[in-house]
Structure 1
Amino acid sequence: MPGWQRWRPKKRRKAGAMADLLSRVHKVSQDALASGALEPIPTCQEVVEEQGVEFLLRVLDNLSRKDEARDKLKRAGAHRTDPFLPYDPALYVEEVAPRHRCLLNKFNVVQHHVLIVTREFEPQTDLLDAGDFQALVHCMAQMPGLGFFNGGEMAGASQPHKHLQLIPLPMAPFDVLPFSASIAEVPVGGPQCCPALLFRHGLIRFPSSPSKETKENAQVMLRAYLTLRTYLDLGEADPYNLLVTDEWMMLVPRSQEKWQGISFNALAFCGAMLVRDGEQASLLKKEGLMQALAAVT
């Protein structure tokens, strides 16, 4: 039996059991908002349907704040291009074994968006390993959500320091995620493709059964990740996006970062598209959101 078939997703714990990380994220977010260290970027959003598949299309209300912050660092002549070394202590959540720490995403579009960052510098282009998945599983067990990874600049990675990301679920107004209904129609097992999703990808749906220990779950996730890389014939240096929930894992090879000037990261491949302005939103709706995703994979 392939290792990924022995996946045993943790049952979602009751609020009291999850309070550890969740309460910490909430508290740090409140303090960081008050101090100005956390700078959420507001968006307008709409649900767009294409041939029975729903997308969440977000349009940024104010991207200038993020651009201005980056320009300020450049003007200050900051040689430090790594925002995680040192990190902003106002964004610090907690240490995560074996070699990671959890930080708030400073310019977040989704509330309580966290980064799972290696404590020492490791390249974002390095393959994920058991320690990376152990850190992700630990955080997902306490804050159920969507974990994702942008493997390289062409896959939408904005920082060269290795970091996974986690956003809480559900993603309103959906019960879980925009593509969840389509993925749920795929039988458990894999690796395989979801017929409704026309971009290149590999998918493994995990069987549901009682929970296991974090380290064991991390090893199962690692095996699923390696299985998908083989299934897609992905080379070690090839860019890709990874998306993980407690029910499935998806790997998306990337051929380019942008379509018509619109950049996509991993969240686009769960159906959550983000654009800078109304002009880009109109272009996507005219040409087709799924077609745009297919063009970059």
Structure 2
Amino acid sequence: MDESALIDTFDRLVKSGVVSYNSNPEIVKHETENLIVQFLFTPALAKKPMVQDHSSETAEEENSGRLPGGDIGITVFKLCDIGNDHVLIINKFSFARPHLMLLTSNGYRRQYEVLDSSDIEALWSALNAVGPRAEYVAFYNCGQDGGCSRLHKHMQLMPKPDNTFAAFLEPGSQRKEPKVPFHWFYHRFDDEYITSTTVHEVYSDLFKQAKGAYESRNNVVKNIAPGAACPHNMIMTRNWMVIIPRQRAAAQGLAGANAMGMLGYLAMATREEIDGWLEMGPEKVLKEVGVYK
């Protein structure tokens, strides 16, 4: 999987208007007592859909190239299959160049499920395929409280932004661990050769810790669907993994965050969203949407 070919395909879809992407987004940095938060102002996300009831879909939506049971169109955006169980596509609403999605081939798999060994194997394969020259980051928004906007189970990949809260995990980094106001659990992949089996074991262990932190808080909103995993974010590169348990998608229904947002890198469609974060205070928002310490 050649990165230059991915970017060429991405640029072609953006030029044709099929993919929404702002090629020159404004970066607004805000420093708190303990953290530096980066807001990526990109109006290209303004029309991004949110989780909806399939029963309300029109016939046109049902024939939009989605897999049976799914709510993400793939026909125009498909790049390739990853193994037998996953499909790699361009994200229609992108805040990176390129911004990819790794979907399950089974459209009935759901975004509130825990990642299984097949998901991790496909994700690890994709990360190693696209990232030999430029480091990529992958992330998973599990459940609506974890910041997901679609029900079809999917992970996302994009070039790794600089200076997130996880920068201290980078090889050779001299940074100290930042004082985040929420529970997070992380692991460095220090071995030279890591298999997807190892990565899945790490995910399972970190998720167990995150689930324990989630369940220890009496004020957590208990709205998990039967059979669903506790809401969480998973973020990983080829060098590290972070899992963050989540209480809710947004603070006061206004200041929301997905997985990358929990690492201080927030893609915002409107200035009102940024203002909402700044008015409440980023550390207060992160404390409310995560599981506070």
What TM-score comes out, normalization by structure 2 length? Answer: 0.77
User: 2:6 aligned to 4, 10, 25, which one?
Assistant: 25
Per the alignment, residue 119 of structure 2 pairs with 132
Structure number having the greater helix percentage: 1
**Could you tell me how far apart the structure 2 residues matched to 1:224 and 1:81 are?**
39
**Could you tell me how far apart the structure 2 residues matched to 1:157 and 1:113 are?**
16
- Mark the runs of 5 or more structure 2 residues left unpaired by the alignment: 216-227
CA 1:33/1:279 → structure 2, altered by over 3 Å: closer, same or farther? Answer: closer
Deviation at 1:93, TM superposition (A): 0.8
**Could you tell me how far apart the structure 2 residues matched to 1:241 and 1:83 are?**
27
CA shift digits 1:157-185 (9 cap, x unpaired)? 1111111111112x2xx3xx422444459
**Could you tell me how far apart the structure 1 residues matched to 2:3 and 2:45 are?**
27
Per the alignment, residue 162 of structure 1 pairs with 153
**Could you tell me how far apart the structure 1 residues matched to 2:41 and 2:196 are?**
35
CA shift digits 1:207-258 (9 cap, x unpaired)? 2x3234xxxx211111111111222316753111111112211111111111
Alignment of 1:265-280 (within 5 A): 265-280=258-273
Contact conserved, 1:29 with 1:112, CA < 8 A, in 2?
Answer: yes
Deviation at 1:75, TM superposition (A): 8.5
- Mark the runs of 5 or more structure 1 residues left unpaired by the alignment: 1-19, 188-192
**Could you tell me how far apart the structure 2 residues matched to 1:80 and 1:154 are?**
26
Deviation at 1:130, TM superposition (A): 1.2
Contact conserved, 1:84 with 1:117, CA < 8 A, in 2?
Answer: no
**Could you tell me how far apart the structure 1 residues matched to 2:106 and 2:267 are?**
30
- Aligned-residue sequence identity (percent) comes to 21
2:274 matched to 1:281? yes
CA shift digits 1:54-95 (9 cap, x unpaired)? 22112233544446xx9xxx7955453986427443211111
CA 1:158/1:65 → structure 2, altered by over 3 Å: closer, same or farther? Answer: closer
User: How large is the Cα RMSD of the aligned pairs?
Assistant: 2.9
What TM-score comes out, normalization by structure 1 length? Answer: 0.77
SS of residue in 1 equivalent to 2:10: helix
Tell me the amino acid that sits aligned with residue 22 of structure 1: E
CA 1:258/1:131 → structure 2, altered by over 3 Å: closer, same or farther? Answer: same
Deviation at 1:25, TM superposition (A): 1.3
2:189 matched to 1:225? no
CA 1:219/1:118 → structure 2, altered by over 3 Å: closer, same or farther? Answer: same
Tell me the amino acid that sits aligned with residue 158 of structure 1: S
- The aligned length equals 258
Contact conserved, 2:66 with 2:75, CA < 8 A, in 1?
Answer: no
Alignment of 1:1-297 (within 5 A): 20-41=1-22, 43-66=25-48, 77-78=59-60, 80=62, 84-85=66-67, 87-121=73-107, 122-144=109-131, 145-169=136-160, 171=161, 174=162, 177-183=163-169, 194=177, 196-207=179-190, 209-212=191-194, 217-232=195-210, 233=212, 237-260=229-252, 261-297=254-290
CA 1:186/1:264 → structure 2, altered by over 3 Å: closer, same or farther? Answer: farther
**Could you tell me how far apart the structure 1 residues matched to 2:281 and 2:260 are?**
17
Deviation at 1:147, TM superposition (A): 0.6
